[in-house]
Amino acid sequence: MSASKRCNGIVRALIVLNGGLESPQQLKHWASGCDLLIAADGGANIVRAANLHADIVIGDMDSIEPPILASLRADQLLRDDLQDRTDFQKALDYAVRSGAAQLVILNSEGDRPDHFIAAIGWARAFAAELEIRFVMQKMIVHLATCETELKCPVGTTVSILPIPSCVVRETVGLRWPLTNSLLELGNLHSVSNEATSDPIRIHISEGCAAVFIHRFEGDIAW
């Protein structure tokens, strides 16, 4: 991730949602490297299925399995019944309040693409403060607001989508480079680009971009 976003005492937070299931092996890998494991409501079911334990379970508790809910200690449970925010927003706010500097979100895609699109929009508000990644089955989505360096083997598919607009000052290591380019949804974007070097660099001077990188072996390191 971005070399320019470093802070003292980095806290790595992992949010597990209740969408498409990441393999238990990969979930365990991410969990082994995190400092704070947050389950958003029914995400606690997925965490428990992998024989893991969340540090905190947050949400309105309408999706968590009753036996798992009953097994939680009081200090593991943060019930929030307000319906003006999703469980992901509640988990995201908790991660920020807890001092997270790196944030990984698992199981965000599932069968509700509207939820995933909304989650990208909500996370955008914190992208200048945190290193944020959405881990999907076939791609990892990095939110970029500054000069960002990303590991990416040569030949890997890379797409840069503005949310909702951004200015790319320059890119290094892409087959079709961008220079001082205004990207806007419904207008100019960079879909199905290709890495020509490892790492690649993307310099966002205004706004925020979602950088989609096709999954590759070794991409799940913090």
Domain 1-137 and domain 138-222 have a common topology: yes
Q: Where are the beta strands (DSSP E) in the chain?
A: 12-16, 36-40, 56-59, 77-79, 102-106, 131-135, 139-144, 147-150, 157-172, 179-184, 190-194, 200-214
**Whether residue 6 has pLDDT greater than 50:** no
Work out the pLDDT band at 8, boundaries 50, 70, 90. very low
Tens-digit pLDDT profile for residues 162-174? 999 999 999 999 9
To which H or E segment does residue 32 belong? helix 24-32
Please state which of the four CATH numbers 3.40.190.10, 3.40.50.10240, 3.20.20.80, 3.40.50.720 is assigned to the domain occupying 1-137: 3.40.50.10240
Indicate the pTM of the whole model. 0.90
- Cα separation of 12 and 62, whole Å? 27
Among 26-40, 62-76, 110-124, where is mean pLDDT lowest?
A: 110-124
% of the chain at pLDDT higher than 70: 94
> 201 pairs with which residues across the strands?
149, 172
Among 64-78, 108-122, 151-165, where is mean pLDDT lowest?
A: 108-122
What value does the mean pLDDT take over residues 190-201?
Answer: 96
**Domain spans of the chain, in order of start:** 1-137, 138-222
**Whether residue 110 has pLDDT greater than 80:** no
Tens-digit pLDDT profile for residues 15-48? 999 887 667 888 999 999 999 999 999 999 999 9
Phi, psi of 29 (to 5 degrees): -60, -50
Tens-digit pLDDT profile for residues 75-96? 999 998 887 789 999 999 999 9
Mean predicted lDDT score pLDDT of the chain: 90
Higher pLDDT, 4 or 117: 117
Work out the pLDDT band at 147, boundaries 50, 70, 90. very high
Quote the pLDDT of residue 148: 95
Higher pLDDT, 10 or 81: 81
Topology of the domain covering 138-222: Rossmann fold (3.40.50)
